[in-house]
Amino acid sequence: MTASGIFLTHLDTPRIRGHFERLTAESAGLVDWQWVISHDRYPRPETSLDYEDPADILPVRYRRMAQHGGVQGGYLDTLLVPLLRALPGEYRWVCEYDVDFAGRWEDVFRRFVDSDADLLTSSVLFRREQPRWNHWHWAAAPPGIARRLWVRSFNPLMRVGRRMLEVYCAAMTDDAWQGHYEFTMATAAHAAGLVVEDLGGDTSFTPAGRCNQLYLGRSPAGRPKDLTFGFRPVRTHYYEERPETFEQEGLLYHPVKPGVLAWNRETRNAPRAWPPARGGDADG
């Protein structure tokens, strides 16, 4: 059965459109993708999906998102969850525009056709396995969820099941939940006894035979020197444009920023200057 998915971007450029077209063509029959563009800081994306009001779906998270000043910095769930609920089928994918694969996309999605995981994502680590994660300081959960169960994840590419969406929306009605959505989603799923799996890195949640098969990322041992999927380093061209700049075939890469400044508090993913200044290449 074909899964469904959203391709999330905050910019509409020919290069990003080309990347989306490659994704849809190479995963045809495996995932039906919807183009979604988020123009501003709040969860009101432009899309053909008829999605429910985020303030109704996740009222507590929505209120805190508004107090925070928008979705960036930890509240992207207020945008993603209503969109995912609007999709058909048992399983729904999210792929952000700065995720790329050094190979044919069908090779990624075909391997999960028979997986019944409620949450498939990357860098799924217990608190004890990455105690210095930047967002632990503002994480909180209901008293019945021991800290040994706290988990973080990294979600630029993830698959969420219908049951996971139901459990998450119900859990987030409790004011005790606080923190980055990479904490709240993974921990709520794990604490509820849902099936959480790593897409294919090297973590406690990686099934046998999948270790380092899809990406190289942070593990309980730390950050590998040859990391392909994480917060940095930034690549400035998509695989289809310059395959020679991708070190290993058959792996996921993130972040890939084609003509986009790397995120920080000042740039907020602002577009790069184009055309480049004389004597320099603003696109790397």
pLDDT band at 1 (very low <50, low <70, confident <90, very high): confident
Please state which CATH class domain 3-253 belongs to. alpha beta
Question: Cα(39)–Cα(4) distance, rounded to whole angstroms?
Answer: 22
pLDDT tens track for 224-247: 999 999 988 899 999 999 999 999
Residue 153: count other Cβ atoms within 10 Å of its Cβ: 26
pLDDT tens track for 26-36: 999 999 999 99
Mean pLDDT of 193-208: 98
pLDDT tens track for 85-98: 999 999 999 999 99
pTM for this prediction? 0.91
Question: Cα(154)–Cα(100) distance, rounded to whole angstroms?
Answer: 15
Mean pLDDT of the chain: 92
The proportion of the chain whose per-residue pLDDT surpasses 70, expressed as a percent, equals: 92
Tell me what pLDDT residue 264 has.
Answer: 56
Segments making up each domain of the chain, as ranges? 3-253
Tell me what pLDDT residue 263 has.
Answer: 56
Tell me what pLDDT residue 262 has.
Answer: 63
Which residue reads 């973590």 in tokens? 203
Taking CA atoms, 123 is separated from 119, 141, 200, 217, 275, in Å, by 12, 20, 9, 7, 36
Tell me what pLDDT residue 261 has.
Answer: 73
